[in-house]
Amino acid sequence: MNIREVAPEFGVFVFSQDADLGSRLKFALGMAKYDVHFFSDFEEMFQRVQSAAPHVIVLDQAALVTPLSEVFQKVLESSSEIRMLCLAESEVLSQLNDYRDYNMVQYFNRAEGVVVDQVCMSVDQTCETLYRLYQNEQLFNTYKGTAGELAYLQEENEKQKMGPQARPFQTRIAEYRAAESKEELVQMFFRQTASQSWAFLKYVSSIQTYISVSSQNMPDEWVEGLSYKIPSSQSDFNDKILLGEYPESFLQYIKAKWGVDTLKVMPLLLKNEIEGLLITPQDISAEVAEDFSLMSLVYNLITLEAQPQNLDVEDPLTGFYNQLFYKRILDKEIDRSKRTFAPISVVKVAIDIFREIEVSHGKAFCDEIIKKVADVIKQTSRLPDYICRTAENEFSLVLINCNRKGAALRADRLRQRLKGESFSKAGFVVTVSQGISEYPSLTKTAESLNDSARKALDFIITKGGDKICIYKAPKDHQPDFQVNT
């Protein structure tokens, strides 16, 4: 997410009797688009807190005449949602660890020359975390509403079953509900409309392209290579589809490929965003349209049910999967690899001299580095890859159907791309070390695949950074199957 887009929604109070420090903080936070207010009198600020509580308060301890604990308690009695950042002299910083239970997010040495930058980055991180929290609460409310709607339909279905005649479409609710994934749900819809010809074009937002991912009763030549990239000149393409208007260039492309004169298109939506398009050259009956509406409802419900679970497996700083998800997916993908005889690689990535950066520049700056590196990892990843943050300074990339040589090329692409990136401090260069392992050529199990990739990473870290190491299998290792290299 781009915190600047939502920054005006967050209120920040700055309290200090140092006019120079306070004004610099107010200016910097104002330039970052926050709704910021500067106070030099605590009682004046506290009255404002009671009438319009901010999201974040930056407190200069040197300006306080009452104990810090009393100040925190007084503020939190007005609103327990307020997050606190504290500025203090270097000799009292170690005492501030005791105030973590008072919603204190971070503290800084007020005499540091970069303290304003540190505070701004910490406010960004705090407000981004709050924004995600508010989104999750909204998501849960949406989920409850959708779940309630489906429960109502199921109740009506049971009533109909007890009547003299049951309408056929209502009995399909339970069948749709049994789908374990969105992909299976679309296939189930195909089966429910067996006489209809369909092509499902999924929308991939990262490349602004509709790609054919499944079909029914279609000639192979109609769907092979079927994709449509939205022209840069048509930025309102999806907005028009949401309004029921299908751009003529898109329709003509499909008609020409299929050799037909007419098309019917039904957009599959998720929270008012396009997930994909179901396209057919046939007319759509009322029964088929009714079935599509029912499938769409269950499609949304499956997604909303999965998202609260995802909160437990998502790293809040990067948005990547966390260690819990990584362990689950690695076990699952090793099982899949054994069935399909397709290799799977793990790349472990660590930022070089991470601890030195943290000591010299602070945690807030380190978090910015982590997010920047995460962005580059995402940009250089394939759609099937799983990207996880498995430790404070460790990313684990699970590369499906990829041998160790392919993983090495992928790792080098990331290494080269980082060299061209600029970071927030002029002249600051970030490099990474990477360890690689592969199943089945180098390891036998999910656990050994993970451990061997980490051993490769730990080894190469000691060699100066900005390097890649591929794990070497023991001499007696026998692969479960052979991999083309």
Is the pLDDT at 263 greater than 90, yes or no? yes
Banded pLDDT at 163 (limits 50, 70, 90):
very low
Banded pLDDT at 299 (limits 50, 70, 90):
confident
| Range 1-19 average pLDDT | 88
pLDDT of residue 130: 78
Is the pLDDT at 1 greater than 70, yes or no? no
Label the pairing between strands 344-351 and 394-400: antiparallel
Residues 304 and 336 in one domain: no
Cis? peptide before 440, omega within 30° of 0: yes
Q: Cβ distance 434 to 411 under 8 Å? A: yes
Residues 117 and 20 in one domain: yes
In a domain, 364, yes or no: yes
Angstrom distances, CA of residue 461 to CA of 29, 143, 354, 434, 458 = 37, 45, 11, 8, 5
Label the pairing between strands 386-391 and 394-400: antiparallel
CATH of the domain at 337: 3.30.70.270
| Range 69-98 average pLDDT | 84
d(CA 359, CA 112): 13
User: Which of 311, 338, 358 lies at the terminal end of a domain, its last residue?
Assistant: 311
pLDDT in tens, 107-119: 889 888 889 999 9
pLDDT of residue 343: 94
pLDDT of residue 157: 60
Is the pLDDT at 12 greater than 80, yes or no? yes
Torsion of CA 205, 188, 306, 149, to 10 degrees: 110
148-157, 246-255, 287-296, 390-399: lowest mean pLDDT where? Answer: 148-157
Residues 291 and 352 in one domain: no
Which of 7-11, 94-98, 432-436 shows the highest mean pLDDT?
A: 432-436
d(CA 465, CA 266): 52
Angle subtended at Cα 95 by Cα 92 and Cα 97, rounded to the nearest 5 degrees: 130
Banded pLDDT at 156 (limits 50, 70, 90):
low
Residues 305 and 334 in one domain: no
In a domain, 161, yes or no: no
Residues 263 and 346 in one domain: no
Report percent pLDDT > 90 for the chain.
Answer: 40
- In sequence order, what DSSP letters do the residues of 96-125 get, joined into one string? GGGGGGGTEEEEEETT-TTHHHHHHHHHHH
pLDDT of residue 267: 92
d(CA 446, CA 330): 6
- Tell me the β-bridge partners of 276: 202, 268
Residues 234 and 351 in one domain: no
pLDDT of residue 456: 96
The CB density around residue 183, as the number of other CB atoms within 10 Å, is 13
| DSSP reduced 3-state for 265 | strand
d(CA 351, CA 74): 41
pLDDT of residue 170: 58
Residues 177 and 291 in one domain: yes
Question: What's the structural domain count of the chain?
Answer: 3
pLDDT of residue 308: 46
Residues 245 and 282 in one domain: yes
User: Which of 274, 290, 311 lies at the terminal end of a domain, its last residue?
Assistant: 311
Domain range enclosing 204: 167-311
pLDDT of residue 485: 66
| Range 434-458 average pLDDT | 96
User: Which of 311, 334, 350 lies at the terminal end of a domain, its last residue?
Assistant: 311
Residues 460 and 329 in one domain: yes
Is the pLDDT at 432 greater than 60, yes or no? yes
In a domain, 202, yes or no: yes
The CB density around residue 286, as the number of other CB atoms within 10 Å, is 7
In a domain, 136, yes or no: no
Q: Which of 274, 275, 276, 254 is nearest to 263 (CA)?
A: 254
Angle subtended at Cα 114 by Cα 391 and Cα 71, rounded to the nearest 5 degrees: 80
In a domain, 158, yes or no: no
Torsion of CA 309, 315, 318, 323, to 10 degrees: -110
153-162, 354-363, 367-376, 399-408: lowest mean pLDDT where? Answer: 153-162
Residues 253 and 282 in one domain: yes
Is the pLDDT at 162 greater than 50, yes or no? no
pLDDT of residue 166: 41
Residues 360 and 439 in one domain: yes
Which residues are CB-neighbours of 434 under 8 A, at least 6 positions away?
347, 348, 349, 350, 411, 414, 415, 457, 460, 467, 468, 469
Tokens at residue 139, please?
């998501």
Which residues are CB-neighbours of 376 under 8 A, at least 6 positions away?
414, 417, 418, 421
Tokens at residue 348, please?
């472990």
Residues 260 and 362 in one domain: no
CATH of the domain at 252: 3.30.450.40
Q: Cβ distance 5 to 33 under 8 Å? A: no
In a domain, 77, yes or no: yes
